[in-house]
Homo-oligomer: A and B are copies of this chain.
Amino acid sequence: MKKTHYLDDLEVGQKFGSGRYLLDEDAIKRFAAEYDPQPFHLDHDAAKDTLFKGLAASGWHTAALTMRLFVESEFRPAGGFIGAGIEGLQWHQPVRPGDELSIEAEILEVRPSKSKPEQGIVKVRTTTYNQRHEPVQTFVANMVVKRNLP
């Protein structure tokens, strides 16, 4: 059983790692067909003449897989991963078939709520890497985390 992190267990600078997720071509096309049906996410040949210069995963697929890696990471926020909002979501380079993704989360800010004493907001920078440890996506999440009050 992994440790649960209450707001009061977290501090600025703490980092959490994750497992890895191998993204294959079939998964890229399946996500795209359902949520982002554009040629550069669906078809090798059609993708060649686009800005991506070859098949690439939807950015929203990378975001969804980042969430999966986050939920399964060493970070276990009390009450679950509940996002109040995301700042500055950026995709730095394409994710290709065969890429293996992993994430690192770093606590940037820990702030008890004034109006709701049983919880607070934690600001977490989340970086998604490929197998060459190149960042493919970054964002900062504002998460609601429970306090461990007596």
Q: Assess whether A82 is interfacial by the CB under 8 Å rule.
A: yes
Which one of A8-16, A55-63, A99-107, A127-135 is at the interface? A55-63
Question: Which B residues lie within 8 Å of A39 (CB)?
Answer: 80
Chain A: interface size category:
35 or more
Residue of B nearest to A141 (CB): B89
Q: How far is the CA of A17 from the CA of B82 in the complex (A)?
A: 29
Q: How far is the CA of A68 from the CA of B34 in the complex (A)?
A: 7
Q: Assess whether A6 is interfacial by the CB under 8 Å rule.
A: no
Q: Assess whether A79 is interfacial by the CB under 8 Å rule.
A: yes
Q: How far is the CA of A72 from the CA of B136 in the complex (A)?
A: 26
Q: Which of A38-83 contact B (CB under 8 A)?
A: 38-40, 50-52, 58-61, 63-65, 67-68, 71-72, 79-83
13 contacts between A and B (CB under 8 A): A31-B64, A35-B68, A37-B68, A51-B80, A51-B144, A60-B63, A60-B64, A60-B67, A64-B64, A83-B91, A84-B90, A86-B88, A86-B139
Spell out A's residues near B (CB within 8 Å).
Answer: 31, 34-40, 50-52, 58-61, 63-65, 67-68, 71-72, 79-91, 139, 144
A38-B80, A83-B91 known; 5 new pairs, CB 8 Å cut-off, are A51-B144, A58-B64, A58-B67, A60-B60, A63-B63
